Structure 1
């Protein structure tokens, strides 16, 4: 369902992802990985740690 170019309500709307980066997210940094591992160990989430 498109919008008419003559409808004044949609004239000034910009795309919701206009200023955002597209594509895949950047990889986790080693410090972030260790922080996640430490948190999973501290919370005793063994299954989640193994999957991570």
Structure 2
């Protein structure tokens, strides 16, 4: 997304296959992950689980 014109809610909801109504209106919180990583996604547990398979 264009940083100067971010959409409301999650900045990636327009191209995310997992986007829900929550993503359209609410910015997801930034969550700390191991190895100095972070995730800002309402569905981070689902996405992380799929990535580990």
TM-score (norm 2): 0.22
By relative contact order (CA 8 Å, sep 6+), the higher-ranking structure is 2
TM-score (norm 1): 0.22
